[in-house]
Structure 1
Amino acid sequence: MMQHPLLLHTMLERARNVFPKKEIISRDYSGMFRYNYGEFYVRVCRLANVLQKLGVGKGDRVGTLAWNNHRHLELYFAIPCSGAVLNTLNLRLFTEQLIYVINHAEDKVIFVDEDLIPLLEGIKEQLTTVKSYVIMTDKKELPQTSLSPVYSYEQLLAEAGTEYIFSRDVDEETVAAMCYTTATTGNPKGVMYTHRALVLHSLSECMPDALGLSESDVIMPVVPMFHVNAWGLPFSATWVGATQVFVGSRPDPKVLCDLMQNEKVTITAGVPTIWMGVYALISKQNYDLSSLRKIINGGSALPEALLNGYREKLGLDITHAYGMTETTPLVLSCQLKAYMKDWPQDKKNKILLKQGTIVPGLEMRVIDDMGNDVPRDGKTMGELVLRGPWITSEYYKDPERSKEVITPDGWFKTNDIVTIDEEGYVQVADRTKDLIKSGGEWISSVDLENAIMSHPAVAEAAVIAIPHDKWDERPMACVVLKPDRTENVSEQDILDFLDGKIVKWWMPDRVVFIDEVPKTSVGKFDKKVLRQQYTGR
């Protein structure tokens, strides 16, 4: 067989050659921006020439501080296809973490969306490697800024040549992109994605029993492009020639519903807090979302009540998926097997609420503390470990923490505690740090949260461990009520609701009502903040 390297430019060129008329739609600052893959290719070539003009060479890191938009998509391809490394910067990191990431990666140039300039202005004196900034906006005049030297993205493109020859003489193991974890302790960790890893990940992602993307789809990722490459969807969607819809700056549920309705979106993806907000809106206002065929949920499990609500409202089951920064990210996808589709709905729900089965191309094990495989009984908990061509083998310039996550025989330790059933479906019980050990037995905070969130008056719930003299730890529930139910629900109401739905020893010792569950930079529940607040640890 030919020794043919797997490189991202093949995706780009396929989109130009096969799907030049297919649309890319982007919510820009002054309105909607529309163009096609043929025009997109020319702009990517212009951008590759711009990078060369700015002194970006092979292996140089280029930072992007941007929302989901067409310019960010252009950077997704121009940077790695010209030999540099795309470093997507998480705009919701703490200031100290953002400084660390930029300096640790040694970003040479940063491309920044217009409304995110203040994030860089406040830290520019502490950035040690950045040589220039490029502002991305659809306005002719750049905003006043203290960043220097600073350039206009659109002006640079207008002045650049339209021809660029993407090198074929590149090792497929060359790093194409990198993303830093949203650290809960210590500094964020850098994960490197090679061309080979991204191509193979995209190939698996498009398969029918993974995420099932095709040319006929209209794909709208709500998950940010600064978080694990928007779950790889911009790469995969470009490769198959799907229409892409980008949600732009600071999207809210109304923006998302308007886009899904107006652009006839077929596939969208995001974290549970997104789908909670969207469901609250479509429960009050009429939207025609009949084009939707798949809503992908990741980050954490949805409550069963929300799964049922979307089925009743839109006639479709939400697809659970699982992954992490270190896994590029797709690892699991939950699809019913053919013989399950005639099962009673409550039995199907037990499957659909799991994170799914391993996607083609990866291997997995679920192991106990001794490294032995746990029974596939859907009950016994163990740690999920992985290996495969898009699973990280090390953290960038961090050998000590790299050793902590790779076993001697080459498996990546996810730090996620899961069960696996006889059908191969995996359910995440908890992160190791979030499991509650009470009297020597484990309590899954995730399962307990989902049980609480099935209460009709509950908007959000987070469960944490609190110290206990006798049992070591006991669960405490932090509950956010829906705005119209704040005066009608008591702690005892929540406990009475849980009675019969969970085993007795899982019953929370306390229920506290709070205004909002703290969120991480990517919209997940940030339980470490609650632990610090209520336990000081």
Structure 2
Amino acid sequence: MANSDELLTASAFPMTIAAVWNQRCRQTPQHTFLIQNKQRYSYEDVNQLSEEAGNLLNAYGLVSGDVVAIQLATNVTAIQLFIACFKRGLTILPLNPHLDDEETSSLIKKMAPTVIITKSDGRNSLSFNNQLLNDYNKHIVRLGQTDLQIMTDEHHQTKTIVGNSPAVILCTSGTTGAAKGVMLTNQNILYSELQFNRIYGIQDSDVQVLPSGLYHALGFHHGLISTILAGSTLVLIEHYSPDTLKRAINDYGCTYLVTVPTVIFDIFEWSTRPKSLRFIISGGAPLGYELLRTAWKLAVPVYNIYGLTECVPFVCTSPAYYQMKEGQLTGGYPIDGMSVAILNNQHQKITQTNQEGRIMAKGPVVFSGYYHDQERTDQVLSPDGWLDTGDIGHWNADHALEVDGRSKDIIIRGGENIPAYVVERELQQYPNIKEAAAVGIKDKRLGELIGAFVVLSDPNISVTLQQVKQFLAEHNVVKKIWPERLIIVDKLPKTSSGKAKKRVLIAFLKSHPSSFYRPMHLSSGDDGWGVTSMDA
């Protein structure tokens, strides 16, 4: 295990992911790397598969720095393509297979990849006859047992990127606006995961199960790269369901997973705890105290990590701090080599505890910029390397960082700015509210009213707006943050990182005005509320 003193600068390991992969294959070639559908693949097996994928890529005349978009589910085929790209210095653009047509068109137009790879079975948005893809030549090829659709742009010219070419471009989730392409170098990624493995003691004997997609940092960084560095084993789940996850953990003796709170709720609904599961690491969305209380009761540690796609992760709840606080915490400390500051409205550093301000981060895991978007890069990244996270937080009594919410997620009621996260935080203290998302509802008199979408812990026990208000009054919560509309839903529409899609909620309220005036129960077969229809 690497010593933290050796990791104070990214130059401490001027290696690439390709070099780390080659070293891993030399050291433990026969150790199991991947498990999918009961089939095991050693590091040497996957290395051979990556050579086959490399031969396929070679046919398209790609050069170092070209962008290869890959839209595949979490499977062996995707990983063999990823490793083939690493070896050739190609930049990977992993895309969510569940993007809708509008999101897909926007991303392809903005990123302009040299090559697009997806399955040819029509399951992914890019495998449909998308009009924007008319500029690409389409080919159906076979890689192993998988038929792929490969699209190439004959008129593409490799665009020069100042500094190191990114190893990967990860797309931000885009809860309130268009997604951005986050450029991350080999050093950004390796530094992050060396620290991650050190803090949580990931060893070659560990078996991680991966319910997240490889297009998200939870899957790409903490799933794929962390496993390669540790020489451990990764169990792939191509299509997530709670039952599939449970079978994978029990069948393969999985020791941990890195996921979002929604999946953790699924695990805690099982009647028995999987014996092999040592801990869970949560990222992507805030942890609620109901979940933390349940985790402590079940003796399944849930450690919180905080970061952005632009900075993966830079604050972690260590196992020691978790035990010290008996699991009732979401705070953590910066990883070695990272500087974190909280600024007030005058851009001065806050050093006192329990005073909120804007979270800033600087160090070796901070991204190099947004792809093809210098203007937005300059808005968040200062010339001296400080990243404005856009999040609000404070130092707690232990001087650990607590994240409170997004600075731009504001409801303006009667001229007063009300942070949505404050409303959500208080609502989640209600005994039967599992999740909450607060949004502004247009109002002629006040500008906006406070609307709250909530998911119940027990749907069989009713919750009314009046009951919620009474609870908040009894707990001395100031009246200005009480919700004025309550909409009960079976699940919230979420991004791939587990954050509520506020723009979807606001759009729903616009199209369903009756929901302003009476409680509603909504259900949807799609976690993003974007594929299947809903009936109120």
Fold-level similarity (TM above 0.5):
yes
Q: Distance in 2 between matches of 1:4 and 1:510?
A: 53
CA offsets, 1:132-158, max 9 Å, x none?
556678757x49xxx5779xxxxxxxx
CA contact 1:357–1:426 (8 Å) conserved in 2: yes
| Counterpart position of 2:386 | 411
1:239 matched to 2:229: yes
TM-superposition CA deviations, 1:22-64 (whole Å, max 9, x none): 213443xxx4321111211222223223211232222211111
Q: Is the contact made by 2:35 and 2:233 (CA closer than 8 Å) also made in structure 1? A: no
Pick from 288, 292, 299 the counterpart of residue 307 of structure 1: 292
Could you tell me which residue of structure 1 aligns to residue 339 of structure 2? 363
Q: For residues 342 and 359 of structure 1, do their structure 2 counterparts lie closer, same or farther at Cα, with a shift above 3 Å needed?
A: closer
Distance 1:292 1:271 in 2: 16
Please tell me the residue identity of whatever aligns with 2:204.
E
1:237-266 CA-partner distances (Å, limit 9, x unpaired): 111101111111x21111111111111111
Kindly state the Cα deviation for residue 384 of structure 1 after the two structures are TM-superposed. 0.9
| 1:95 lines up with 2:101 in the alignment | yes
Q: Does 1:179 align with 2:179?
A: no
2:253 is the counterpart of 1:267 = no
Give the Cα separation in 2 of the matches to 1:369 and 1:472.
24
CA contact under 8 A between 1:179 and 1:192: conserved in structure 2? Answer: yes
**Aligned-partner residue type, residue 361 of structure 1:** G
- Counterpart of 2:469 in structure 1 is 495
Native 8 Å contact 2:141 2:150 kept in 1: no
Gaps of 5+ in 2: 1-5, 153-161, 512-536
The aligned counterpart of 1:156 is none
**Counterparts of residues 161-180 of structure 1 (less than 5 Å):** 173-180=164-171
**2:188 is aligned with 1:197:** yes
Partner of 1:452: 427
The one-letter code matched in structure 1 to 2:310 is E
The separation in 1 between residues aligned to 2:492 and 2:151, in whole angstroms, is 40
Deviation (angstroms), 1:418:
1.1
Is the deviation greater in 511-520 or in 470-479? 470-479
Q: CA deviation at 1:11?
A: 1.7
1:396 CA displacement:
1.2
Q: Which amino acid aligns with 1:320?
A: N
Could you say which residue in structure 2 is the equivalent of 1:225? 214
Matches within 5 A, 1:89-488: 89-113=95-119, 117-127=123-133, 130-132=136-138, 139=145, 142=147, 173-184=164-175, 187-208=178-199, 211-228=200-217, 230=219, 232-233=221-222, 234-248=224-238, 250-280=239-269, 282=270, 285-286=271-272, 288-313=273-298, 315-327=299-311, 329-335=312-318, 337=320, 341=323, 345=326, 349=328, 352-354=329-331, 356-378=332-354, 380-407=355-382, 409-436=384-411, 443-466=418-441, 475-482=450-457, 484-485=459-460, 488=462
Pick closer, same or farther for the CA change 1:119–1:439 going to 2, 3 Å.
Answer: closer
Q: Structure 2 length normalisation: TM-score?
A: 0.82
For residue 167 of structure 1, what is the aligned residue in structure 2? none
The aligned residue for residue 61 of structure 1 is 67
Give the total of aligned pairs: 492
* Between 57-66 and 129-138, the greater mean CA deviation after superposition: 129-138
Aligned to 1:160: none
TM-score (norm 1): 0.82
Contact 1:67 1:113 in 2 (8 A): no
Q: Is the 8 A contact 1:24 1:37 kept in 2?
A: yes
Whole-Å separation in 1 of the counterparts to 2:129 and 2:352: 50
SS at match of 1:207: helix
- The yes-or-no answer on 1:518 pairing with 2:493 is yes
1:507 matches 2:482: yes
| Percent of aligned positions that are identical | 25
Q: Structure 2 matches for 1:28-43, cutoff 5 A?
A: 31-43=37-49
How far apart are residue 306 of structure 1 and its match?
Answer: 1.4
RMSD over equivalenced CA pairs, Å: 3.2
**What are the ranges of 5 or more consecutive residues in structure 1 without an aligned counterpart?**
151-170
The Cα of 1:424 is off from its aligned counterpart by 3.3
Question: Cα gap change, 1:19/1:450 in structure 2, threshold over 3 Å: closer, same or farther?
Answer: farther
Match of 1:168 in 2: none
Say whether the 8 Å CA contact 1:65–1:88 is kept in structure 2: yes
Task: Provide the C-alpha distance between the structure 1 equivalents of 2:365 and 2:213, rounded to a whole number of angstroms.
Answer: 20
Structure 1 residue 129: deviation in Å? 5.8
Residue identity matched to 1:293 = R
1:341/1:517 CA distance change after superposition, 3 Å: closer
> How has the CA–CA distance of structure 1 residues 3 and 476 changed in structure 2, closer, same or farther, with 3 Å as cutoff?
closer
8 Å CA contact retained: 1:111, 1:133:
no
* TM-aligned CA deviation for residue 216 of structure 1: 1.9
Q: Pick from 10, 18, 28: which aligns with 2:19?
A: 10
**Distance change (3 Å), C-alpha of 1:197 and 1:342:** closer
Deviation at 1:218, TM superposition (A): 0.8
